[in-house]
Amino acid sequence: MRGIIAWGTYLPFRRLDRADIGKVLGRSGGRGSRTVASFDEDPTTMAVEAARSAMRTTPASPDLVLFCSVNPAYADRTNATAIHAALRLGDTAIAADLGLSTRSAVAGVLLASCGHGTTLVTAADIRVGLAGSAEEASGGDAASALIIGDESPDTPVLAEIMGTASRTAEFIDRWRTPGDTHSKIWDEKFSGVTLVPLAVAALTDACAAADITPAELIAVAVSAPTARMAKTVGGKLGVAHVVDDFAAVVGQCGAAQPGLMLAHLIEQASPGDVVALVSACDGADAVVFRVTDAAAGHDGAPTVAAQAAGGAPISYGRFLAWRGTIAVDPPRRPEPQRVSSTAAARNTDWKYGFVASVDEQTGAVHLPPLRVSADGERTDAMTVRPMADIGATIATFTVDHVAYSPSPPIVFAVVDFDGGGRLPVELCDCDADEVKIGARVEMTFRRLHAIDGMPNYFWKARLARG
Amino acid sequence: MASHGIKDQIAIIGVGCTRFVEHWDAGLDDLIITAADAAYASAGIDKADVDAYWFGTAQGGMSGITMARPLQLQNKPVTRVENYCATGSEALRQAAYAVASGAYDVAMALGAEKTKDSGFQGLNAAPPPNDGTARSLTAAAMYSMVAPAYCEKFGVDAADMRHAMARVAEKNHHNGARNPLAQFQREVSIDTVCASPKVAGDLGVYDCAGVADGAAAVIICRAEDAHKYCDNPLYIKALSFVAGNGSGLTDPDYDYTTFPEIAACAQDAYTQAGITDPSASIAMAEVHDCFTVTELVLMEDLGFSERGTAWKDMLDGRFDLEGEVAVNPDGGLKSFGHPVGASGLRMVYEAWLQLRGKAPDERRVAAAHRDPAKTLALTHNLGGYPGEMVSFIAIVGTELG
């Protein structure tokens, strides 16, 4: 049996109230909210967070990592290698990028379903539109991670893949020139009319492949390039229940949308349920799953619904600054230098994997890792300890109003890790007045800045919000 | 600590110092020339009489050529040194050892920094190429974590601590207002300090040292040669240095209420100088008041105050010009300004004036005059941050033995 053995999703912390857009621009505002990636996140960091969330629930170690985003950090070189490094996967594992379209994310699932071994399919997007555009208001930022593999005693399949089917059609409903920050939309009515028969056909064929009738589907999740298209398609599939797509509070999350919808579909299903994902995008893809009995006892990652209910607001002005739509006066401090590629390559375990060294004799934990013991007596008498999933407590903290940051001020804390180790580290996803000595924090993979086109990835701490 | 010291082997025979300020009309070369010429004149010697040079600059230039070119030194050995904010002090330390060794008869230590050509606020170090994981906090932010920790550990009311920190600024500006070479020759009130805009944590603009351009120089010879040049030289009693191993940043036991590197450095300096009670024999101390809170903690690490009491001693006036130990009688980094490579030698300049009775009456260190036993001055630099710093201490005095 082959299917999903783990999944994780990531919704960034901030929420933009759509009504705020109208207030600032002097026009009627929308309803609901959308998710907003922080200034220090990009599709790679968000994919890492979703993948970490998935991997905490399974002992499986992927031998193939796929990554898909419409706006990846890099062209020409692979983005998935940073995800591979942050997850500390073995160097024999393949890490590769899928193309710059939402459909590639679905293709990743289809490829994994008919392949072998254990595949991690990640997808992430930050949706940007011109100020006041429908795309800006209805887009959302998110990441998804699905681990697909064969049933084993340690890795039970939680959602068996029963059948898949696809249709492909060449028509332009939206487009983006590589390098542009946002997409353009043709005509949503035309798109809906064109996509519906493709989606119906794909779902019908997938059900046939799964040897069921569409009427047996307990629930269907629909992903489409816009919330409106998804609504149109979902209404025409003739199925009993189409699950919520969180358009009201999250938005349409581009390449992350199919994985996000699939995760939610499984999260709200019961063991034995037969469900389907329908992605209507440049054609249509349908995948029929059966949720297994193993899912009943599965201690899963934080659900989409739980994450959608969390978060905290961000002003439209700060949102525009974070996306680079408006330029904000920086602190009168020098910008950081670009990262040394060679230095970073030597320190991959620390920079990406957040691996400390532990003194074999004293047990002292060193972040960053030391080769010589703190008493100067012993060289290379250390073991390694991955620290990314170890919680920590704030020993003291401060707010720096002057230091360079893409979004000042910097909230900074000295944190002590459970079981040893201390790191002075930047905090993220918090307001200064929320921070207290003794507060619990967890580590998160972030993009500190990007100079000369090179993102500088490293870890920050965020308040543990339960 | 296996440090032998060179007590009484080296004499200071001349000093020079520019004003520390934004020298918009003077470059590094000009500052070097001004300080060097003042030092030659002070010692009553010519350029050719100085056998070797140690040049301290944190970011002013590379190599001894940065000094040799503006001064047009003729085939002289010039060593550029850098050791964070203790750079100028390090130049003196190396020059002293070279002369004590007998390699040279007369040497100059000169520190210079041009901080105000960058267009940025504060001091800005350009790190070598790296993996991008180092923190990018300002020094103010790192030091801003000290006061809350101190209050917590010693049960000091936050308002009392705030007041004591403001008192440091008030005192140093009081002294600087009486110093024609200081950057800020203006007194500030405690209310002004407390109300200044926040830079980091509870540290406001007036809790931070001034950033200035400037240069200072010291000329030394072996003690036995001193009277060839000078009737009343200063003798070096101790030179100590500790480079921290950074353990405070990673050790959960470090509590941000003390600077262990300073305490170790002080112990070594006092041992070299034969001092058992620093407050009894030291008339004045020039210390590294990069932030007001730093000076409070230094009073304890240098042994002038018991742990947890420096804030009270500061409020009681123990470190005023009239106090038991005058601290930063020239205004300190706070009011005199902080051109990184020059600051350590500026401190020696003030010791030279005060211990030899040449400081103007309005900022005269009372203890040096009323107490014949107080013939010593201490100068102290640190560089870096709580948890990861370098520390330098010199002790100089007017008498041999």
User: What's the pLDDT tens digit per position in B99-134?
Assistant: 999 999 999 999 999 999 988 877 777 788 999 999
Q: Which of B263, B297, B295, B279 is nearest to B156 (CA)?
A: B297
**Segment B140-154 mean pLDDT:** 96
Looking at beta carbons, which residues of chain B come within 8 Å of A351?
A: 131-133
A399 and chain B: CB distance < 8 Å anywhere? yes
pLDDT in tens, A357-379: 999 999 999 999 999 999 999 99
Q: Which two tokens stand for residue B84?
A: 């964070």
Residues of B in contact with A424 (CB under 8 A): 135, 137, 142, 249, 387
Residue type, B243: A
Inspect the interface and report whether the beta carbons of B249 and A424 lie closer than 8 Å: yes
CA B102, CA B52: separation in Å to the nearest integer?
12
The single-letter code of the amino acid at A154 is D
In chain A, the domains with their CATH numbers are: 2-322 (3.40.47.10), 341-463 (no CATH)
Q: What is the pTM of this model?
A: 0.95
A400: closest chain B residue by CA:
B200
Give burial (CB, 10 Å; 0-12/13-18/19+) of B267: middle
B131/A398 CB distance under 8 A:
no
Is the model's pLDDT at A133 over the cut of 70? yes
Q: What is the pLDDT of residue B123?
A: 76
Taking an 8 Å cut-off on Cβ atoms, the answer to whether B132 and A350 are in contact is: no
Counted residue by residue, chain A has a size of: 466
Smallest CA–CA distance, residue A331 to chain B, in Å, is 9
Give the count of alpha carbons within 13 A of B43, CB side only. Answer: 30
Q: Where are the alpha helices (DSSP H) in A409-457?
A: none
Dig out the tokens for A229 from the structure: 């298209």
pLDDT at B281 over 80: yes
Whole-number Å distance between alpha carbons of A331 and B115 = 17
For residues A190-219, average pLDDT: 96
Q: Which helix (H) or strand (E) holds B262?
A: helix B260-273
Max Cα–Cα distance, chain B, nearest Å? 60
With an 8 Å Cβ cutoff, is B243 touching chain A? no
Alpha-carbon gap: B150 to the closest alpha carbon of chain A (Å): 11
Interface with chain B: mutation pick from A401, A407, A417, highest number of B CBs within 10 Å: A401
* pLDDT score at B127: 85
Q: Could you say which residues from 244 to 283 on chain B have a Cβ atom under 8 Å away from some Cβ of chain A?
A: 245, 247, 249-252, 254, 256
DSSP per position, B307-350:
TTTHHHHHHHTTTSTTSSSEE-TT-HHHHH---GGGHHHHHHHH
Q: Which of residues 123-162 of B touch A (CB under 8 A)?
A: 124, 126-127, 129-133, 135-138, 140-142, 144-145, 148-149
Whether the CB-CB separation of B3 and B271 falls below 8 Å is answered with yes
Q: What is the pLDDT of residue B367?
A: 93
Residue type, A96: A
Mutate to test the interface with B, among A385, A402, A411, A426 (most CBs of B within 10 A): A402
What is the band of A278 on the pLDDT scale with cuts at 50, 70, 90? very high
Give B294's pLDDT tier (boundaries 50, 70, 90): very high
- Contact residues on chain B for A458, CB-CB shorter than 8 A: 132-133
**Residue ranges of domains in chain B, CATH in brackets:** 10-118+213-228 (3.40.47.10), 142-178+234-397 (3.40.47.10)
Q: What is the pLDDT of residues A181-201, one digit of tens each?
A: 899 989 989 999 999 999 999
Which candidate in B173, B174, B288, B338 is catalytic? Answer: B338
pLDDT tens digits for B30-86? 999 999 999 999 999 999 999 999 999 999 999 999 999 999 999 999 999 999 999
CB proximity under 8 Å: A 210-269 to B:
none
- Verify whether the Cβ–Cβ distance A403 to B387 is below 8 Å: no
Residue B85: active-site member? yes
The residue of chain A nearest to residue B251, with distances taken between CA atoms, is A422
Arithmetic mean of pLDDT, B262-266:
98
